[in-house]
Amino acid sequence: MNTKGIKIRVVLVEPLYDGNVGSVARSMKNFEYDDLALVNPCRLKEQSRAMAMHALDVLENASIHSTILDAVGDSNLIIAATGNPGKRIEKHIRMPSYTPVEIKHMLEDETGLISILFGREDKGLSNRELGLCDMIMSIPTGHEYPSMNISHACTVVLYELSNIKQGSIELAERFDLDLMYDHFHELMEEIEYPENKLDKTMLMVRRIFGRSRLTAREVQTLRGLMRRIQYHIRH
């Protein structure tokens, strides 16, 4: 399963309980995933090993990071798993959330490394952290008690993504995407986009392109287009 076009990295952001980390490792191994990244985790004591059962290797090979950016590294796409689909980064910026099934269908025929972030057991992910992500995924639960255990949520996501169709469309590298956004930012300044709206609009642009999952070729075309715009502004 994890030999397919889409590779999955599970990223736990500041998990509070080591039993949950072990539980997530077990679930990953059940569905044949092994790329686990931990950002400032709690101490991994006996309970994490007990819950991991026969997935000790996944637990022991987990990478430890001090920042999310370090953990997601070279991912082509960063997805936040959240139990608050209604949560908005900012009042005026839409951050639609997709179900695991919708995400699965979107990723069909594509290839690349997808990092899926799971937040703290008590407070989830902060708005700033959500801002780093390209898309938001939420599991459709009931309204009365929507908050799932982190390892349950992870299990549902991996279960759903485990039978994704193999694809060959290569997603743009994170490095090239960052260059494109820098370029876009530069263009915005060049056209004297109002300072007070700049950050908001940049975030919106990231959301839009994040949802599009650009290919390398598309990024190049868009950058060429921006260069041409700049040329015409300057001459």
Binding footprint of its own copies, residue count (CB under 8 A): 63
Contact between 88 and its own copies by CB under 8 A: the answer reads no
Determine, following the binding rule CB under 8 A, whether residue 232 of this chain makes contact with its own copies: yes
CB 15 within 8 A of CB 38: yes
Mapped onto helix, strand or coil, the DSSP state of residue 124 is strand
The per-residue b/e assignment along 60-69, b for 16 or more CB within 10 angstroms, e otherwise, is: eebeebeebe
N- to C-terminal Cα separation, the chain = 53
Query: CA–CA separation, 210 vs 219, rounded Å?
Result: 12
Question: Binding its own copies by CB under 8 A: which of 8, 62, 107, 164?
Answer: 164
Separation between Cα atoms, residue 141 and residue 117, nearest integer Å: 19
User: Could you count the other beta carbons within 10 Å of the beta carbon of residue 195?
Assistant: 8
Of 40, 63, 84, 201, which lies in the binding site for its own copies, with binding defined by CB under 8 A? 201
* 94 is a site residue for its own copies (CB under 8 A): yes
With CB under 8 A as the contact rule, the residue among 9, 120, 174, 213 that binds its own copies is 213
- Minimum CB separation of residue 154 from its own copies in Å reads 9
Q: What values do phi and psi take at 116, rounded to 5?
A: -115, 120
Beta carbon of residue 209, minimum distance to its own copies (angstroms, whole number):
7
Angle of the 150-161 helix axis to the 100-107 helix axis, nearest 10: 40
Residue 61 binding its own copies, by CB under 8 A: no
Q: Is 216 in contact with 170 (CB distance < 8 Å)?
A: yes
Residue 225 engages its own copies in binding (rule: CB under 8 A): yes
Chain centre distance of CA 140: 18
Closer CB to its own copies, 66 or 122, in the complex: 122
Give the shortest CB-107-to-its own copies separation in angstroms.
12
Q: Which one of 6-14, 21-29, 59-67, 68-76 is the stretch in contact with its own copies (CB under 8 A)?
A: 21-29
- Judged by CB under 8 A, the chain residues 102 through 161 that form the site for its own copies are 106, 139-142, 144-149, 151-152, 155-156, 159
Q: Which of 163, 178, 182, 189 binds its own copies (CB under 8 A)?
A: 163
Interface with its own copies, residue 1, by CB under 8 A: yes
Q: In sequence order, which residues have a C-beta less than 8 Å from that of residue 156 and are 6 or more positions away? A: 100, 139, 148
Q: What is the token pair recorded at 131? A: 């801002």
- Residues forming contacts to its own copies in the complex (CB under 8 A) are 1, 23, 26-27, 29-32, 51, 53-55, 85, 92, 94, 96, 99, 106, 139-142, 144-149, 151-152, 155-156, 159, 162-166, 169, 187-188, 190-193, 201, 204, 208-209, 211-215, 217-218, 221, 225, 228-229, 231-233
